[in-house]
Amino acid sequence: MEKVLGFGGFFFRATDPKRLARWYQDHLGVDLTPMDGAHAPWQQQGGPTAFQPFPQKTSYFGNPEKQWMLNFRVRDLAAMVRQLQAAGITVKVDPRSYPNGLFAHLTDPEGNPIELWEPRGRSAAGKKSGR
Question: Which residue from 106, 110, 101, 109 is spatially nearest to 131, judged by alpha carbons?
Answer: 101
Position 26 in a domain: no
Structural domains in the chain (count): 1
* Neighbour-count burial of 108, counting CB atoms closer than 10 A to its CB (0-12 exposed, 13-18 middle, 19+ buried): middle
Position 3 in a domain: no
Confidence class for position 121, pLDDT limits 50, 70, 90: low
Position 92 in a domain: yes
* pLDDT tens digits, one per residue of 34-74: 888 888 888 988 888 888 999 999 999 988 999 999 999 99
Strands (E), 37-122: 70-73, 92-93, 101-107, 113-119
Position 86 in a domain: yes
Position 75 in a domain: yes
Position 49 in a domain: no
| Amino acid 40: pLDDT | 85
pTM: 0.84
Distance CA 44, CA 11 (A): 16
Position 53 in a domain: no
Position 30 in a domain: no
Long-range contacts, 92-99 (Cβ 8 Å, 24+): 96/130, 98/128, 98/129, 98/130, 99/123, 99/129
74: containing domain? 69-131
Looking up residue 124, the CATH number of its domain turns out to be 3.10.180.10
